[in-house]
C-alpha cells in the first residue's frame, strides 16, 4: 500500500508539473472564428478557445457581446508550451493576422467588440507586446497609426460551444464568411513580403 501511495503521489506531482508548464496568451483580432486557425497551426500551441474578455458583465452571451453594448471583445485564449514556442512568436502570428490600422473594427466587422487588442497576463507579456507595437511604429511599415490596444487581462469567458473550432465544424460557412469579409485580401495588402521589425525567437 505504501509503494502504491508513493506511485500515485508521483503521478500527481508529475501531472501537476506538466500542467503548470503551459502558459496562456489572449488576443483579440476581430471574429474569433478567424483567429483560431493561425494559432492552431503552430507547433507548440496546445489549444485555442474562442471567447469574450475586456468587459465587466459576468458570463456574457454572444448576443450581448455582438450587440456592442457589453464592453467585451471577441478574443481567443491560446494555451501553449513555452519550451516549444515563445510568446514573441505568438505575437508575430497575431500581428500578421489582423489589420492594426483599423480603428472601427476588423475587416467587414464594425464595432468595439471587433477591435484588435493584446491582453497581457503578466509583466513580461506586457513588455513584449508594447515592444512589438513600438517596433512596428518605428519601422514606418505603415503610413498610418497602429491602433491595436494593449490591455491588462480581464476574466476570459469561453464562448458558446458552437463557436469553438467553427472553421472545422462548418468549413463551407466559415470560408464563405471569411472570403466575403475580405480578410485575406486585406491581410495580403498589409503583410505580403513584410519583414516584422522584432524578433520571433
Catalytic residues: 31
Phi-psi region of 10 (alpha: psi -120 to 50; beta: other; left: phi over 0): alpha
> C-alpha 189: how far from its chain's center?
21
CA–CA distance, 168 with 161 (Å, rounded to integer): 13
**Alpha-carbon distances of 196 from 98, 113, 140, 180, 184, rounded to whole Å:** 14, 27, 11, 27, 18
Q: How many CB atoms lie within 10 A of CB 144?
A: 9
- Spatial separation of the C-alpha atoms in residues 131 and 126, rounded to whole Å: 8
Q: Do 119 and 151 form a contact (C-beta atoms < 8 A)?
A: yes
How far is Cα 125 from Cα 132, in angstroms, rounded to an integer? 11
Amino acid at each position: 500500500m505504501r509503494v502504491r501511495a508513493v506511485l500515485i503521489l508521483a503521478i500527481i506531482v508529475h501531472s501537476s508539473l506538466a500542467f503548470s508548464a503551459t502558459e496562456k496568451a489572449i488576443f483579440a483580432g476581430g471574429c474569433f472564428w478567424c483567429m483560431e486557425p493561425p494559432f492552431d497551426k503552430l507547433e507548440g500551441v496546445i489549444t485555442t478557445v474562442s471567447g469574450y474578455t475586456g468587459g465587466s458583465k459576468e458570463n456574457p452571451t454572444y448576443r450581448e457581446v455582438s450587440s456592442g453594448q457589453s464592453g467585451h471583445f471577441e478574443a481567443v485564449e491560446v494555451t501553449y508550451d513555452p519550451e516549444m514556442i515563445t510568446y514573441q512568436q505568438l505575437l508575430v502570428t497575431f500581428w500578421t493576422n489582423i489589420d492594426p490600422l483599423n480603428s472601427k473594427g476588423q475587416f467587414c466587422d464594425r464595432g468595439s467588440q471587433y477591435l484588435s487588442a493584446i491582453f497581457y497576463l503578466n509583466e513580461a507579456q506586457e513588455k513584449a507586446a508594447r515592444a512589438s507595437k513600438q517596433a512596428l511604429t518605428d519601422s514606418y511599415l505603415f503610413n498610418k497609426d497602429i491602433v491595436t490596444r494593449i490591455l491588462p487581462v480581464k476574466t476570459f469567458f469561453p464562448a458558446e460551444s458552437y463557436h469553438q473550432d467553427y472553421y472545422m465544424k462548418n468549413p463551407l460557412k466559415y470560408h464563405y464568411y471569411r472570403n466575403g469579409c475580405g480578410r485575406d485580401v486585406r491581410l495580403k495588402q498589409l503583410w505580403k513580403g513584410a519583414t516584422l521589425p522584432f524578433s520571433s525567437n
